């Protein structure tokens, strides 16, 4: 059975990969992007299946208009993929106020407003699935990505709460957590002006790793296939780690956190009121 999708940030990367594979199997897609013309080739090939909408995630009115257009294009939208976003790189004190505000407005506030806009429509149609593309950075932290992590940890917390709110209406969520993946994410990084004082710190190490490409990347096409398989399944997990780095880093972080929490048990329980 074919599905209808709304996908944000579809001009490149995982969003483009999802759009291509879904169209190829016969699904309908409303794709949003910031650069008009980026999907012209697909529009020609899939004129009856693809609707392209220009949308800037920092503009709430544009988000709501794009959602309205998506639900007008199809009688039903089965899956909404909140994918649009980018990375901001720099030590906390290197970043300027404009960079911080734009990162939060795009990755966090924009994703929240998209989800808020689709919930009443999904509820009215009797259900649907919302997919939030996060990253391994939604559960771990690297130096020089502090604001990026703030947005990803933030959106994951929002989704975990919202999922409980809308479950009675047949709406569920999946959070995708890819690690480093062979896309254009690195090329699209917004970088702060570097301060030399950080050259010999973990920030400098990460900067050199980025510039040298010293990462173990996941395959983008395989990542898209895994995402689609999970979304198509009747009961996907709330969170799905994708890639060796994501699995190993998240597992190590959770194991460390659990050990630390267990060591605090006596202190934690000692503050309880006693009747």
pTM of the model: 0.94
Q: What is the CATH number of the domain that holds 166?
A: 3.40.50.720
Q: What is the pLDDT of residues 129-166, one digit of tens each?
A: 999 999 999 999 999 999 999 999 999 999 999 999 99
36 — pLDDT class (breaks 50, 70, 90): confident
Angle between helices 60-73 and 110-125 (to 10 degrees): 30
Cα separation, 12 vs 18, whole angstroms = 10
Give the sign of the dihedral formed by CA 125, CA 78, CA 68, CA 25: negative
Q: Which of 3, 11, 111, 152 is catalytic?
A: 152
DSSP 6-19: EESSTTSHHHHHHH
Residue 148 appears among annotated catalytic residues: yes
Cα separation, 213 vs 96, whole angstroms = 25
Cα separation, 69 vs 52, whole angstroms = 10
User: How far, in Å, are 181, 182, 221, 226, 244 from residue 215 at the CA level?
Assistant: 9, 10, 18, 21, 11
In a domain, 275, yes or no: no
**pLDDT for 180:** 80
Q: What is the pLDDT of residues 230-269, one digit of tens each?
A: 999 999 999 999 999 999 999 999 999 999 999 999 999 9
Q: 189 or 249, which is more confident?
A: 249
In a domain, 194, yes or no: yes
In a domain, 126, yes or no: yes
Q: Which of 148, 198, 245, 249 is catalytic?
A: 148
Q: Which of 134, 135, 245, 249 is catalytic?
A: 134
In a domain, 144, yes or no: yes
How many independent structural domains does the chain possess? 1
Cα separation, 165 vs 223, whole angstroms = 29
Domain that holds residue 170: 4-270
* Closest among 122, 114, 237 to 176, alpha carbons compared: 237
213 — pLDDT class (breaks 50, 70, 90): low
The residues that bridge with 131 in the sheet, in sequence order, are 81, 174
Note whether 15 and 228 are within 8 A (CB): no
In a domain, 72, yes or no: yes
Using DSSP, state whether 98 is helix, strand or coil: helix
Which helix (H) or strand (E) segment holds residue 242: the answer is strand 239-242
Q: What percent of the chain clears pLDDT 70, i.e. is strictly above it? A: 97
């Amino acid at each position: 059975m074919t599905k209808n999708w709304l996908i944000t940030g579809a001009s490149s990367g995982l969003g483009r990969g999802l759009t291509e594979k879904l169209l190829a199997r016969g699904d309908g897609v409303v794709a949003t992007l910031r650069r008009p013309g980026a999907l012209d080739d697909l529009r020609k090939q899939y004129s009856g299946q693809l609707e392209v909408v220009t949308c800037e995630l920092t503009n709430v009115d544009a988000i709501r208009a794009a959602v309205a257009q998506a639900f007008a294009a199809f009688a039903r939208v089965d899956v909404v993929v909140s994918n649009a976003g980018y990375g901001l790189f720099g030590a906390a004190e290197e970043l300027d106020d404009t960079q911080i505000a734009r990162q939060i407005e795009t990755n966090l506030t924009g994703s929240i407003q998209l989800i808020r806009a689709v919930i009443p429509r999904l509820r009215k149609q009797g259900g649907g699935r919302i997919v939030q593309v996060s990253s391994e950075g939604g559960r771990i932290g690297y130096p020089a990505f502090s604001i990026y992590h703030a947005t990803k940890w933030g959106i994951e917390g929002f989704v975990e709460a919202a999922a409980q709110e809308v479950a009675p209406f047949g709406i569920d969520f999946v959070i995708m957590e890819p690690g480093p993946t062979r896309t254009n994410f690195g090329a699209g990084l917004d970088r702060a002006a570097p301060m030399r004082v950080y050259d010999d710190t973990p920030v400098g190490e990460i900067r050199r790793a980025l510039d040298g490409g010293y990462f173990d990347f996941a395959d983008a096409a395989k990542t898209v296939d895994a995402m689609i398989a999970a979304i198509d399944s009747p009961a996907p997990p709330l969170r799905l780690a994708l890639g060796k780095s994501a699995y190993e880093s998240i597992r190590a972080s959770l194991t460390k956190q659990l050990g630390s929490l267990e060591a605090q048990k006596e202190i934690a329980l000692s503050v309880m009121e006693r009747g």
